[in-house]
């Protein structure tokens, strides 16, 4: 990973032998070589979008430090992401890779953005629902956040960026994509407060252009109700061809 490379869609799907499909692999378990048995998904790179801000916030709790009601009253979401390098036999954890996530509030608004064509609310200076973690020895990061809301042009989604850095501090590798939710869960969440204050959405997974062009069905989170009955736990293992 010494040279800076931006993984393109064709490379990200290289393990598949054809562009346009997703690689779903068998269940994961320990192997004698220290790698994980195959259980990660190679997803296409998707657009970073206009709302990424490199805040440099290393934290797991993305809700702390704000009084914004569309954040503090949002439905809790524990997001668990595994980062793996895929080869022909295994998914090996990529230790210490930096995983950023950012997403909209229950109001469909991003923090630290001036009002504009897409977002009418000025949130400059706010830092909610943004942050990064470094992958542990198992390639895992965990975030405490809320279930995202929607905005007019998009289905419900979470952005993520995976980076490795050279000793100079400059990125040596970068991959950016998005994660999505099953629409049955979206419908349940968006029918409850404070998500239900904004009328009906028009864009769903099925007619979201980024979801469709990026084969978003390969990037659906495995979301289940939390054991404590408060919100959801969502997991996803990302496989990268580096």
Task: Report DSSP state, residue 131.
Answer: E
Residue 92's CB is within 10 A of a number of other CB atoms, namely 19
Instruction: List pLDDT tens digits, range 121-172.
Output: 999 999 999 999 999 999 999 999 999 999 999 999 999 999 998 888 888 8
Residue 110's CB is within 10 A of a number of other CB atoms, namely 26
Q: What is the mean pLDDT of the chain?
A: 85
The H or E element spanning position 237 is strand 232-240
Between residues 195 and 3, which one has the greater pLDDT?
A: 195
Instruction: List pLDDT tens digits, range 28-56.
Output: 333 333 444 446 888 889 999 999 999 99
Task: Report DSSP state, residue 4.
Answer: -
Rounded to an integer, what distance in angstroms lies between the CA atom of residue 131 and that of residue 24? 28
Please give the CATH number for the structural domain made up of 48-80+96-232: 2.60.130.10
pLDDT category, 89, cuts 50, 70, 90?
confident
Q: Dihedral of CA 91/21/233/161: which sign?
A: positive
Report yes or no: 135 and 143 within 8 Å, Cβ to Cβ. no
Range with the poorest average pLDDT among 24-28, 80-84, 108-112, 210-214: 24-28
What percentage of the chain exceeds 90 in pLDDT?
Answer: 73
3-state secondary structure of 155: coil
Report yes or no: 173 and 161 within 8 Å, Cβ to Cβ. no
pLDDT at 41 (0 to 100): 81
pLDDT category, 225, cuts 50, 70, 90?
very high
| pTM of the predicted model as reported, rounded to 2 decimal places | 0.85
């Amino acid at each position: 990973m010494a040279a800076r490379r931006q993984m393109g869609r064709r490379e990200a799907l290289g393990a598949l032998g054809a562009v346009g499909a997703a690689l779903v692999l068998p269940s994961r378990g320990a192997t004698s070589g220290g790698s994980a048995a195959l259980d990660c998904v190679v997803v296409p790179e998707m657009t970073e979008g206009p709302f990424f801000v490199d805040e440099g916030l290393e934290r797991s709790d993305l809700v702390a430090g704000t009084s914004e009601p569309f954040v503090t009253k949002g439905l809790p979401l524990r997001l668990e992401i595994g980062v793996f390098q895929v080869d022909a036999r295994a998914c090996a954890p990529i230790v210490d890779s930096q995983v950023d996530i950012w997403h909209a509030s229950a109001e469909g608004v991003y923090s630290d953005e001036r009002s504009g064509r897409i977002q009418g609310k000025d949130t400059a200076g706010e830092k909610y629902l943004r942050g990064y973690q470094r992958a542990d020895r198992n390639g895992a990061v965990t975030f405490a956040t809320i279930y995202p809301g929607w905005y007019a042009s998009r289905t419900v989604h979470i952005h993520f960026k995976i980076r490795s850095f050279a000793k100079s501090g400059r990125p040596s590798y970068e991959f950016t994509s998005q994660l999505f939710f099953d629409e049955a869960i979206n419908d349940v969440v968006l029918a409850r407060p404070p998500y239900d204050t904004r009328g009906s959405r028009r864009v769903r997974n099925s007619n979201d252009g980024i979801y469709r062009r990026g084969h978003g069905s390969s990037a659906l989170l495995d979301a289940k109700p939390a054991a404590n009955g408060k919100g959801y736990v969502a997991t996803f293992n990302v496989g990268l061809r580096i």
